[in-house]
Amino acid sequence: MESSPSPDPEPVCGNCQVHVADGAGSGNRGPDSAWFPHCVDCARAVADQLELILDRPDGQPIQILRCRWCGLERACRPGWSTRCHICHDEHTAQICLHDLTVLYDELANAENESATVLEAELRTFALLDENSPMEAVHLADFIAALAAFEELEDRGQPGWTLLAAHLSGWPWEISGSRKHSHGT
């Protein structure tokens, strides 16, 4: 007796993890962004996050975008929907934030840096004074920024001016790549 293939899991929003309808534009599903399905609310939350700064340089099928929230530049294909490699938002699921806080702990151990030094760097990055509460989203953005800058540095070449890159899976999946990149 042959077993039937298991059904594909119900799609979930890459940002908030709520179940979304199959197929963009149906039910509560907005346009996919950064390779992931998005619910309508999460798609709206980042609809104006990026601004176009360079459109199809030298006729190449690529756009250079800048995050209006943090200033990071990234690349994307014309007409595709994407979001910042670093910035999470008020809709981002706690599980996504938690996974990045684990990386923060690993970084503190690997770098042998004191929690005080990392906390000071995080507060500076997030523009938080010493009395402001640190939230998981601040930590997630900080880890994504550290990882993104390291990844971009690794992709650089002598004599190059790095304009932007597409890091597949970010800001949620810092390591590994689910799909191909648009390039650097």
Give me the pLDDT at residue 178, please: 47
> DSSP string covering 102-145, please?
HHHHHHHHHHT--HHHHHHHHHHHTT--TTSPP-HHHHHHHHHH
- Six-digit token pair at 157? 């070449």
Distance of CA 30 to the CA centre of its chain: 17
Q: Residue 177: what pLDDT?
A: 47
Q: Where are the domains of the chain?
A: 46-155
Q: Which helix (H) or strand (E) holds 151?
A: helix 136-155
Each residue's pLDDT tens digit in the chain (184 positions)? 455 554 557 789 988 999 998 765 568 898 888 778 899 999 999 999 999 999 999 998 999 999 999 999 998 889 888 899 889 888 888 777 776 667 666 666 665 556 677 778 888 988 999 899 888 888 888 888 888 888 888 878 888 877 777 777 677 766 554 445 555 5
β-sheet bridge partners, residue 29 = 39
Is-contact 184 155, C-beta < 8 A?
Answer: yes
At what angle are helices 136-155 and 115-125 packed, to 10 degrees?
Answer: 90
The candidate with the shortest Cα–Cα distance to 144, out of 90, 107, 93, is 107
Q: What's the CA angle centered on 127, arms 125 and 128, to 5 degrees?
A: 110
Which residue carries 């004074």 as its tokens?
A: 129
Q: CA 100 to CA 104: how far, in whole Å? A: 6
